[in-house]
Structures are given as C-alpha cells and as structure tokens.
Structure 1
Amino acid sequence: MNRLGFMSYNYMGWSAEAMTEEARRHGFAYVQFDPRQAVQVMDERPLSPERAEKIRGLFEDAGISVVGLSGYTNLMNPNLAKREQKLQQLEQMIDLCSAYGTRYIATETGSLHPTNSWKDCEENRTPEAWDELLRVVDRLRARAAKNGAVLLIEGFALNVLATPEQAADMIGRLGSEGLGLVMDPFNYLTQDDLHSRAQQAAMANIFERIGAHSPVAHAKDSLYGEEGFTTPRVGAGQADWNIYAALLAERLPDVPLILEHAKPEETAECLELVRKAFHHAAGK
C-alpha cells in the first residue's frame, strides 16, 4: 500500500514535539504541514526560514518527512484587497518550501461567493472567473518555478476549479513547470457519482485526468447530507474506499497518501479502514 502521512491540522493545538511523537506511534512517514500553524516553535515568526528548519528537524528526528506545505487560501476572494494580501502570504510560503525540505505546496482555488469560500455561486461558472483563476495560478506557478518548487492545486466541487476536466485543462494551458495537482477524488465526486454503480467510472476518470500530475494523494471521504457537500474523515462518508485503494495501488503506488480531517482519537480507526481497503484491493 502507499506510504502514509497526515495533515498537521489534524493535531491543531498540539506542540510540534507531541505531534511528532503521536505520528511516530501511528507509523506515519510523512506530514503535510501548514507553516501558519502554532506548534510552540518560534510561533512569533511563523514564516521565517529559521522556524521552518527547526520544525523540519523535529519531524526528521522522528523519521517523518515534510511531503508538502498546506498553503490553503481563497485564490478568488471577491475582496481584491484581502485576496492580494493572502496571495502575498502564499508567495512567502512558496519561498519556504526548500527550508522545509519539500518541493510542494498545496492550495484549493476558492470561490467568488461573497461571504463563504466553501460555497458555490453562479459567478464561479463564468469564463471570466476561469480566466481570472488561470491568471492568479500562473502568477503563483511562476513564483514556485523560480524557487524550484511546485504549486499543487486541489480541486473542489464548490470552487472555481470544480472538476477533473478543469484541472486537466489548467495543466494543458499553463504547463507543468512549477504546477501540479493533488490526487483527491473525494473533492470532485458529485452526488450522482456516489451511486454505487457510478463510483468506479467516476474515480477512474479522475485518475485518468489528473493522475500523471499528482505527486501527493489525500485520504478522506465524500458526503452529501443535510449540510450539503462535505468531505469528512475516512469512513464517515459515501465513497467506496475499495475502489480508491485499488486505483492507487495500480496507478500511483509510490505517491504518499495523507490522512485528512481526522481527529487524533479517530486516527487509528481511519488507518485501519485504509489498510483494509488496500488488503481488499490486493486480494482481487
């Protein structure tokens, strides 16, 4: 099975030392770390190279590599002043990749919704929104390429980049220098896709469209419920993990698989479900 890692925000409020000890206990090999997260290591200087090197050292001493940074923000914030502020902060984080010992930094694209970057709106589906997103991503991609880094875009069904077809189109238009994608099919699955007979084709299409450009994969779930579309922890949604595990094993076996949206007390159960899915795939 793919080697496992975790999102640092799964341990929000934990010190770096406590986080690394718990991660080592679970056998994690990787972490996707948010440089803005408070971990009691030079927290007053969150975006300094010195802090990055100290945190990297703590993880490496525990046998854990920083597979990538979490730079998630709303690239399409309709408040242009706030958008620019966040883009500049993201550029600072791109510059930190080498200090953390990684080439990768990930973000979703966000929404033009006036009050909630996790909600869709009509403006997200316009050609103008797509052109604006390409302009923003190209700016960040160029910054990443200059630093020997790679900006990884993570699609989401309610964002401007909502489909695997759009993700493939972005790579086709902007190229892969300094730009890649996150393999996270749970973000793309529609309510129709989650019907038992449709998931195989939907997930296979996602791998076909974006797999070649995805150096990192995520482990969570998809759920359409009272709150609309959400992506909870592994096992808390409607996605068929046996299908995902089989596709990872066949097409992206060397890609790190990063556990997301799991509370510390849920980690062991999530990992057991992931391992069972891979055992099921191996038995086919």
Structure 2
Amino acid sequence: MMNQLGFMSYVYMGWSAEAMAEEASKHGLMYVQVDPKQKLHIMDDEPFSLVRAEKIRTIFENYGISVVGLSGYTNLLNPNLSKREEKLAQLETMIDLCAAYGTRYIATETGSLHPTNAWRDYEGNRSQEAWEQLVDIVDRLRSRAVENNAVLLVEGFALNVLAAPEQAEALMERLGTDGLGLIMDPFNYLKQDELGRQKEAFTAIFDHIGKYSPIAHAKDTLYSEEGFTTPRVGAGQSEWGVYARLLRDRLPDVPLILEHAKPEEVAECLCLIRQSFEGIEYDT
C-alpha cells in the first residue's frame, strides 16, 4: 500500500485546467493542490471569483481529481511592509475561497527578511524579533482560517524564518491546532550534514511535525556548489525509501503531492515514488 498521489497545479504551468486534469488522470493522480492565481483559461481576469473557483473544482472532479488544498505561497515576512500587507490581504482572500474549491486547506511558506530574495538565508531570519513577527502574522491568518472553517498549513524551509521542524512544532504548541497545521515536507528541512544519516533525520522530522500534517509533498533535496535546492523526485540526494517507509507507517492516509516536475518528467517521478513504496515490502 502507498499514499494516494496528487500534483501541484504549477507542474502543468500554461495548461488549461481541463488539459491538466485530463493528463493527470492518465497518470492515476487523485489530488491537485491548486494555485488560484495561476492562469487556467477560466475567468483568469477574475482569479479570486467564487464562480471561477467552483468551475475549476468541477473540472477536476469530472476527472476524479479532488482539490486537496490551495497554494497561497508568499513571503509572510517581506521586508517591504506595504508589499507584505498587500500579499497578506491577498492570502486572506484566498483563505475565503477554500470552501468554493472544496477544500479546507491552504498552504504557505514563511519567507525571509532578505531584502531581495525570499528564498535566501538572512541573519535577521534567526532573530527573536523575526520569530515574534512570524507568530503574529500566522495567528492573524489562522484566525481568518477559523472564520472560514479552513486550515492554514505552514511549510518550513531551511533558509526561511521557520527553518527547522522543532520551530514548526513550537509554533503549533504556541498557537494550537484551531485553523492551523503543517505540511509534511522533510526535503525542505534536511541539512547538508544530515545527508549521511537520513533515517535519523527524517524520523526526527516526522516526530516533530507528523501529527500536524494532513498533506505531504514529493520532491528531493540537493546540496551543490549553487547551494541548497529542492528539485523534482530523483534529482537530489534524499533517500526516498526512508521517506516512503515513514509515510506508510505513520501517515498512510495523507495525500502525497508531486512538486517541481515538468510535465514530461511526471511519469518518471511517479515511477520512482512507486518503486520506493514497493521496495519497503522487501526491506522489513
């Protein structure tokens, strides 16, 4: 047995909702994580329309695909305060759309205080002031989620303000689970010095955040001369067999959502994922 599979809508960037739903169904994908801002050739001039949301939901459902969550990714801690407020207000609008898409979940990463790049490390990210700002912002968004019977899912990243699974757990303990959860994405947390002890590292990540994670992501971890990146499945250094076993043993009912692949890479990625789960049966 393995987790049911889905995909991020941006995997099929530039495709219509109809075309991506048809293609994804051929691969046996049952879930999609939709970015409401993405052009899907349906009322694209009204990205936050309830009617548009319901039409997109219906298209996927016609192919047996459920909207597992929304992608509301933005830099919660944008150092440009006016831009930060603009993006937070937009995220709140997307929270309001969850029900129309047929989901309770909307995901975001926390971002960085870096002046020009939300994905780069910055010394200020590790300050207590940055952490308290993040807590306040997440609490604001969590409250909006509660009003809509929705759940904000926070995704950590090693170079962001929320950089470690211990921090994610601390956030949950401080704010509680009402309207708030986490994404199971260990690839974002894996440190370079943990590459040689991935079973221990992945297990610790599950220990800290597993019980708060209703959605899991499928990609990889890569440390190179260019720094830290999280490419598609099979293009990095992660031991997928370790991840597959932990998913099977601890989160078997959680949808597993494919990221960072191009349309022509989807079949290979899914094959690698399925092989990882099949390999568990012979490694007990």
> TM-score band, normalised by the shorter chain?
over 0.9
Residue in 2 aligned with 1:57? 58
Q: Distance in 1 between matches of 2:271 and 2:107?
A: 26
Residue in 2 aligned with 1:181? 182
Residue in 2 aligned with 1:21? 22
Residue in 2 aligned with 1:110? 111
Alignment partner of 1:277: what SS? helix
Q: Distance in 1 between matches of 2:266 and 2:149?
A: 33
Residue in 2 aligned with 1:243? 242
Whether the 8 Å CA contact 1:164–1:209 is kept in 2: the answer is yes
Structure 1 residue identity aligned to 2:123? E
Residue in 1 aligned with 2:157? 156
Give aligned pairs, total: 282
The answer to whether 1:41 aligns with 2:7 is no
Aligned-residue offset at 1:127: 0.4
The answer to whether 1:30 aligns with 2:31 is yes
Residue in 2 aligned with 1:210? 209
Structure-2-length-normalised TM-score: 0.99
Whether the 8 Å CA contact 1:47–1:93 is kept in 2: the answer is yes
Q: Distance in 1 between matches of 2:26 and 2:169?
A: 38
Q: Distance in 2 between matches of 1:281 and 1:136?
A: 40
- Extract structure 1 runs of 4+ deviating beyond 2 A: none
Q: How does 1:219-238 map to 2 (within 5 A)?
A: 219-238=218-237
Aligned-residue offset at 1:282: 2.3
Q: Distance in 2 between matches of 1:187 and 1:263?
A: 19
Q: Distance in 2 between matches of 1:157 and 1:8?
A: 24
Residue in 2 aligned with 1:170? 171
Q: Distance in 1 between matches of 2:207 and 2:129?
A: 27
Whether the 8 Å CA contact 1:36–1:46 is kept in 2: the answer is yes
Q: Distance in 1 between matches of 2:159 and 2:170?
A: 17
Residue in 1 aligned with 2:194? 193
Aligned-residue offset at 1:52: 0.1
Q: CA RMSD in A?
A: 0.4
Q: What do residues 19-48 of structure 1 show as CA deviations (whole Å, max 9, x unaligned)?
A: 011001101000000000001001010001
Structure 2 residue identity aligned to 1:170? L
Alignment partner of 2:121: what SS? coil
Q: Distance in 1 between matches of 2:19 and 2:58?
A: 14
Residue in 2 aligned with 1:275? 274
Q: Distance in 1 between matches of 2:226 and 2:86?
A: 30
Q: Distance in 1 between matches of 2:189 and 2:281?
A: 25
Aligned-residue offset at 1:226: 1.9
Q: Distance in 2 between matches of 1:118 and 1:240?
A: 24
Q: How does 1:68-147 map to 2 (within 5 A)?
A: 68-147=69-148
Whether the 8 Å CA contact 1:2–1:257 is kept in 2: the answer is yes
Q: What do residues 165-185 of structure 1 show as CA deviations (whole Å, max 9, x unaligned)?
A: 000000000001000000000
What runs of 5+ residues in structure 2 fail to find an aligned partner? Answer: none
Residue in 1 aligned with 2:252? 253
Q: Distance in 2 between matches of 1:53 and 1:104?
A: 16
Structure-1-length-normalised TM-score: 0.99
Alignment partner of 1:160: what SS? coil
Aligned-residue offset at 1:227: 1.5
Q: What do residues 55-90 of structure 1 show as CA deviations (whole Å, max 9, x unaligned)?
A: 000000000000000000000000000000000000
Whether the 8 Å CA contact 1:70–1:107 is kept in 2: the answer is yes
Q: Distance in 2 between matches of 1:111 and 1:44?
A: 30
Whether the 8 Å CA contact 1:246–1:282 is kept in 2: the answer is no
Q: Distance in 2 between matches of 1:47 and 1:59?
A: 18
Whether the 8 Å CA contact 1:242–1:281 is kept in 2: the answer is yes
